[in-house]
């Protein structure tokens, strides 16, 4: 992973560490309507990064799936609870951290999700379960942990990656 370690890169941008500087921290009541607002806020927080549309859609999809999962599964059937969201941006991309105090993930692990299959008979088409599949397709370094009744999910999206400045060649 850290194949660049030890190389003599010029760091033009001091906060651009691999982990990244905090772009925003927010907390909200776990409802689908609030997830929508949180995504809206997150996307405007990311505006200054000038991400291409393709990367923006990846962020929006992954964020929606991860946050909706908290509302749907950590706090099922409208159980009241809070969700905390932290966005960080660094060399490795965008780091998304989500915490909640709801139910743990089944078997203490993030589910695999439904894997799409080609040409299913119409009436057997799945109507759900693609959330985790989408997160896994879009995200990297997915980590889930639970401590003191708190779920902790963190994943990275390889978007808005700062280009490593190329070292000037000695002849210049």
Partner 1 sequence: MEMTSSVHNGLTVITVHENRIDAAVAMRFKENMKELTEGVAGRVIVDLSAVIFVDSSGLGAVVGSMKQMGRGRRMDLVGLSPSVEKVFRMTRMDSVFRIFGNLDEATQEPADAS
Point out which residues bind partner 1 (CB under 8 A).
32-33, 35-36, 53-54, 56-57, 60-61, 64-65, 68, 71-72, 116-120, 122-123, 125-131, 133-134, 137
Total H helices, total E strands in the chain: 3, 5
- H helices of the chain, where? 32-45, 53-69, 131-138
Give 36 or 167: the residue with its C-beta nearer to partner 1: 36
85 has which bridge partners? 26, 98
Q: How far is the CB of 9 from partner 1 (least distance, A)?
A: 33
Give 116 or 149: the residue with its C-beta nearer to partner 1: 116
Q: Which two structure tokens, joined as six digits, stand for 2?
A: 């850290």
Of 11, 2, 1, 3, which is closest to residue 167 (Cα–Cα)?
A: 11
Q: How far is the CB of 56 from partner 1 (least distance, A)?
A: 8
Q: Which two structure tokens, joined as six digits, stand for 68?
A: 């909706």
Q: How far is the CB of 164 from partner 1 (least distance, A)?
A: 28
Give 8 or 117: the residue with its C-beta nearer to partner 1: 117
Helix (H, G, I), strand (E, B) or coil at 170: coil
Phi, psi (5° rounding) for residue 87?
-110, 130
Give 48 or 129: the residue with its C-beta nearer to partner 1: 129
Q: How far is the CB of 139 from partner 1 (least distance, A)?
A: 13
């Amino acid at each position: 992973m850290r194949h660049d370690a030890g190389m003599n890169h010029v760091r033009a941008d001091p906060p651009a560490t691999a982990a990244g500087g905090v772009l925003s921290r927010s907390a909200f009541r776990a409802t689908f309507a609030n997830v929508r607002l949180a995504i809206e806020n997150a996307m405007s927080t990311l505006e200054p990064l000038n991400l291409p549309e393709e990367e923006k859609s990846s962020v929006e999809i992954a964020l929606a799936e991860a946050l909706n999962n908290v509302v749907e599964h950590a706090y099922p059937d409208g159980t009241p609870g809070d969700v905390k969201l932290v966005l960080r941006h660094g060399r490795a991309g965008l780091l998304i951290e989500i915490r909640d105090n709801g139910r743990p993930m089944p078997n203490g692990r993030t589910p695999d999700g439904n894997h799409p299959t080609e040409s299913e008979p119409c009436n057997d088409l799945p109507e759900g379960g693609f959330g985790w599949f989408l997160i896994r397709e879009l995200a990297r370094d997915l980590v889930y942990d639970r401590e003191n009744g708190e779920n902790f999910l963190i994943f990275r999206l390889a978007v808005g990656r700062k280009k490593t400045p190329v070292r000037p060649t000695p002849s210049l």
